[in-house]
Amino acid sequence: MDLNRRQMLALAAAVPLLSSCAGDTRQRKQAAAPVKSGVPTLDPNRPGNDTWPYAEAEALNNSLTWPKTGVADPAGKVVITVATTSDVIAEVRNAQFDFFFRKRHPNIEIKRETSTFDGFLTKYMAQAAGGSLPDVMYNHYSWTQNFISNDIVQPLDDFIARTPEFGMSDLPKAGLAYFQRDGRLYGLPTDMAPKLLFYNKDLFDRAGLKYPDESWTFDKLVESARKLTGGEGAQKVFGFSPTPTPAPDLSTVFLMPYGGRFLSADETQVLIDRPEAQKVMSLWLDLLTKDRATPSLAELQLLEKVDPWKSGHAALHINGAWIMTELAKQKAFKWGATHVPKGPAGRFSPAVGSALVMTAASQQKDAAWIYMYEFLSTSGYQFRRISAPARQSAWLPNAEALGIPKETAELVKEILADYATSDGVLRLPATKKIVDTAKPVWERAMIGKADAGSALKEIAAKVGPLLAENKIG
């Protein structure tokens, strides 16, 4: 399947701005360690390193029950190419998974291609234009609708129907919409998590304030952020970090609790300049410019781009559950997590994640499905120690293995089952252009060069013409 230049450029434009995700560090972590194509050099007979010792991996693999797909193994030798984005450490675990997979399926050879997140989409769109793609590919949630429109990915419903043990009920429905079109499923999530309100217990204790809980509203959060702010320069403590900016999940986290939105639900109309959204954005701008309770751009530079939350300089922080692995390992401060605050219109948390897709051009679809299903089965998640597994059955065992408090893991499962949603999360073709256009306008307001109302009107005027790309027939 060949793509023309217009289609290829439209697809490439969909890659999200890594720094724009309102505290979403998951993407930046994936891109942090550039690796060459393929896996690190390992002993082919005993792949492992200090982080993932071979003997430990072998024992874990043998302790797990690996599922049957209902799809027969190939009768002869076949090769499937799997293209992913991950860091060097994760690739060692992937190499171990591939090693044990080959023992279970000796006729399926895996050729793995690894790229940085930043370059992944461009690389494989160029390959698509040339008619050459891997059999299985990583897919960010904001890419998949483009891939579906251009017939790049294979519907998976028939394979799922042939797999009695698949267990669709084990996957959060709220996070599948990114990978669905017209009732068909084109991707299986590699990870899926909501956002939570995290808090620094040490800073709350020092201020003599009660920890956040399910009763908190955004008004309570703002009030507490003011009280928790103090100090100067590199020693300053911020009540909340980071300052919300136009981002793919801005609506779900911050605007929808007040009845506002960045864009309409179908992403074809700008709504950020309307009164409901303007009220929210003005509140956060005041918290920054008047109360100094969130970090300014200059203060972030003073901290030499160290994340104020991770360094213990922020009391409150909203981010995805995937950061809990990193938090569990750090010793700088005690932390807790609870529900995101609610507003007059309710409480909303985005369920976001990435996926594996099968390419429509694959000549080894059965072998590709066998690999995908085992990789994304409960046992596959447990083997790879995923911090935010899409399969809910893997959450508690993985949390225990990673040192994440059981009550926090239970909270995540509760949110995914209760109010997590994909509604409001930008995912259509114009997403990157929208964020790239809106962010610098809002940053001028953040440094006092524009008021909230005029900045939001300018964003609406500039973003509006971009939305024609989002009209999917």
Same domain, 61 and 106: yes
Report in angstroms the alpha-carbon separations of 283 from 240, 277, 291. Answer: 13, 10, 10
Residue 410 counted as domain residue: no
pLDDT on residue 323: 93
pLDDT on residue 303: 67
Residues 6 or more apart in contact with residue 182 via CB below 8 angstroms: none
**Strands annotated E in 34-150:** 78-85, 108-115, 136-139
pLDDT on residue 393: 93
Give the residue with greater pLDDT, 22 vs 401.
401
Q: Which DSSP state fits 255?
A: I
Total Cβ atoms within 10 A of residue 206: 13
Same domain, 158 and 242: no
Residue 416 counted as domain residue: no
Whether the predicted pLDDT of 18 surpasses 60 = no
Residues 6 or more apart in contact with residue 199 via CB below 8 angstroms: 211, 212, 315, 316, 317, 335, 336, 337, 338
Q: What range defines the domain where residue 178 resides?
A: 5-193+352-405
Stated as kind and residue range, the H or E segment containing 357 is strand 355-358
Q: Which DSSP state fits 68?
A: P
Q: How far apart are CA 352 and CA 358, in angstroms?
A: 20
pLDDT-derived band of residue 97, with 50, 70 and 90 as boundaries? very high
Residue 60 counted as domain residue: yes
Same domain, 211 and 161: no
Pairing of strands 136-139, 108-115: unpaired
Residue 413 counted as domain residue: no
Residue 411 counted as domain residue: no
pLDDT on residue 56: 96
Same domain, 343 and 356: no
| pLDDT tens for each residue of 33-70 | 333 444 567 888 899 998 899 999 999 999 999 998 88
pLDDT on residue 30: 34
Residue 419 counted as domain residue: no
On whether the CB atoms of residues 424 and 255 are closer than 8 A, the answer is yes
Same domain, 24 and 77: yes
Q: How far apart are CA 57 and CA 97, in angstroms?
A: 9
Domain count of the fold of the chain:
2
**To which residue do tokens 């256009």 refer?**
437
Residue 415 counted as domain residue: no
Share of the chain above pLDDT 70, in %: 90
> pTM, whole model, 2 decimals?
0.86
Give the residue with greater pLDDT, 7 vs 118.
118
Same domain, 290 and 357: no
Residue 123 counted as domain residue: yes
| pLDDT tens for each residue of 379-438 | 999 999 988 999 999 999 999 999 999 999 999 999 999 999 999 999 888 888 999 999
Give the rounded distance of the alpha carbon of 325 from its chain centre.
Answer: 14
Same domain, 245 and 301: yes
On whether the CB atoms of residues 139 and 147 are closer than 8 A, the answer is yes
Which is nearest to 303 in space by CA: 367, 233, 223? 233
The two three-digit tokens of residue 223, written as one number = 């009030």
Q: Which of 375, 405, 435 is the last residue of a domain?
A: 405
Same domain, 463 and 330: yes
Same domain, 186 and 199: no
The CATH number for 212's domain is: 3.40.190.10
Indicate the burial class of 35 (C-beta count within 10 angstroms; 0-12, 13-18, 19 or more).
middle
Same domain, 185 and 174: yes
Least confident of 63-72, 150-159, 196-205, 297-306: 297-306
Total Cβ atoms within 10 A of residue 19: 12
On whether the CB atoms of residues 177 and 342 are closer than 8 A, the answer is no
Mean of pLDDT values over 168-185: 92
Same domain, 216 and 70: no
Same domain, 302 and 346: yes
Q: How far apart are CA 62 and CA 76, in angstroms?
A: 25
